[in-house]
Structure 1
Amino acid sequence: MERIIVISLGGSIIIPDKIDVNFLKGFKKIIIDFVEKGNKAIIVCGGGKTCRHYQEAAATVSNLRNEDLDWIGIHTTRLNAQLIKTLFLGIVHEKIIHNPNDKIDFREKVLIAAGWKPGWSTDYDAALLAKNFNVKTVINMSDISYVYDKEPKNNHDARPIKEMPWKELRKLVGNKWDPGLNVPFDPIAAKEAEKLGLKVVIIKGTDLNNLKKFLDEKEFNGTVIS
């Protein structure tokens, strides 16, 4: 039976400081192995550090509105999406999706999407694509292995959370979106995902063996939000 997965791929995983070619090679192999079993993959690309560098530079030179900063971020997601699309030439949908509400005739094995418009991150776009393709789980590949009860980089006693309800996650991330916000899952997306009854799985993006375990429906490391 065909499975469709939706992946929200953090831009900082694609380009931590410079483009991570080894990650791209490993990610390509895992996705191709998955779709060769009769499945499909929808990959939504974030902006990551590239986005933040551009936003910081622009804000240093000019007094920008949040909408201006968001548009900078959106275009960095589209650049990253173009890069990811090249990994799957021959099996990827020709058009990179910007508006997740578009009616998409998705016959290929892989579909790539990027940022749509200001007001949220690509996590929200991933939630809408999941809705439109009747997918119940979104995989969020980010720079953390789990959601923690407090910020782990500065708090050595931070506890990883393996399962949490949307109510807890939304309390953790708040309700407001700011351009370049770095949280486990965008607050606007969290609200939408809860409304849609989606399950979101937060996993460390660079741990490709762990991604493969999840796709193979084996035990994996990460936080399940539902």
Structure 2
Amino acid sequence: MSDLEYFIGLLQKEVPVRIKYKDESWEMRLLYFFIKWFNPHFMTDFTTVIGYTVYFTNRKFIEQCPKQAMQILAHEAVHLLDTKRFSFPIFALAYLFPQVLIVFALLFPINAFYIFFLFFALPLPAPFRAYFEARAYSLDIILGKRSIESVIKYFISWDYYKMFPFKEKIVSVLEKYSKYPSQEMKYIMDLYQKAEPRV
């Protein structure tokens, strides 16, 4: 059993995590078609969670960088536990809010409501997405994978559709969770520490 498989096994006692690969997934290629204009590196530089499935970029990365893959999985495990805590539909809707509201434009012919809901296609602040990502990136900071300064860019850049462009608030939240991790974060840290000596 590899180190990563051991860590996955520990996580599976809490959530039914599955590992897939973006370069082997038609779903990820379809998603990329819609988001490549603002995140052209989605398929090669980002790991993605949908439900309890974690999509790494490719198998080769897992084989060549097992420690880094385990650190990434620890980050994604925060999302997995949040999915369990809130349920997948609520987590997904909260994560995609407010941009998800654009789907309501499909319910109306071209009129005032249509124009109103089109407004949500803009890169408006996404407070719930920022909350979920702040917790996950704070775990990266605790594990020594990233610094607060290196994390801020994800909140203000196009990578996450400019989810929360308020630097001072983001720094405050990252410092808070780095100093006082949530129960879910502590649980993942405990599992990570159990697996880490194997790396």
Is the shorter-chain TM-score for this pair beyond 0.5, marking a shared fold? no
Query: Scaled by the length of structure 1, what TM-score is found?
Result: 0.29
Query: Scaled by the length of structure 2, what TM-score is found?
Result: 0.32
Larger fraction in strand: 1
Larger fraction in helix: 2
Over alpha carbons, which structure has the higher Rg? 2
